[in-house]
Amino acid sequence: MRIIILGVPHVPTTDPTIFSRNDVFPFSEQVWNLCKLFYQRGHEVIHLGVPGSNPPCTENIDVVPLKMWQEYFGSLSVLRLYGIKPNQFPLYTQEFVNNVKRIIKEKAPEPLSTIILANWGGDHEIACRDLNQFIVEPGIGYVGVWAPYRVYSSYAWMHLQLGRANLINGDQWYHVVIPNLSILTFSVPLSLL
C-alpha cells in the first residue's frame, strides 16, 4: 500500500526521542510516529515535508526550498510555532500547497490508489482539494476538521465535532477514535498501560 504522509507545513519531521519534551512539536511528533509505524509494517511511505525532516520512510521529499523555510520559520522556537496562523504567510503557503499538489499527482496518478494522511488543517486542506485519493485526517484533537475520513485522538473530540456539525446522515461512520499512544507514554507510567 502506498501512503503519502504530509508533514507540518512549518516544522521539520524529526525523531522526537532525541530532544527534550520542551523542544518537540506534538504535531510533527505525530507525523514521525505515523511514518515509522507504516514504514516498519512494510508499506511504501512517502513523506512530504520541509527541509530538515528525516522520518523513517521510503522517500522523503522537501516541498519548499531550504532558504525559503529558513526565512519564514528557521529562527522560531517551538513555543512560537504554536502561534502560526493558517495562511499567515501567503507566499510560503502557496509554494507549499502547489508543490504538495504537484508531487501527489506525480506519485499517485491513478485514482484511489493511495492513502494521503493530512495531519494539519489550512495548508493541507487546500493542497488536498480536488485530489482523487483517500484523504484521511489522523489524530484529530483540534477544531476545523475537513477530510472525508477522520481519526480522532479521543471520543470527546469526535463527539464535539459531530455535535458541532449536527451530522445526522451516515457520513460519521467513516470516523474512528485511535488515541495517540506516544503522548500517553509520556504522561502515564508505562506500567499502567
Q: Residue 94's domain is classified under what CATH number? A: 3.40.50
The number of distinct structural domains making up the chain is 1
The three-state (H, E, C) secondary structure of 83-128, written as one string: CCCCCCCHHHHHHHHHHHHHHHHHHCCCCCCEEEEECCCHHHHHHH
Domain span holding position 167: 2-192
Cell numbers that stand for 16 in this block:
522526537
Q: How far is CA 117 from CA 4, 63, 65, 76, 164, in A?
A: 6, 16, 22, 26, 23
Each of the 193 residues of the chain gets a pLDDT tens digit; together they read 899 999 999 989 999 888 666 667 888 889 999 999 999 999 999 999 999 999 999 999 999 999 999 998 887 766 677 777 767 888 999 999 999 999 999 999 998 999 999 988 888 999 999 899 999 999 888 778 888 898 888 888 888 887 776 655 555 566 777 776 554 444 434 444 3
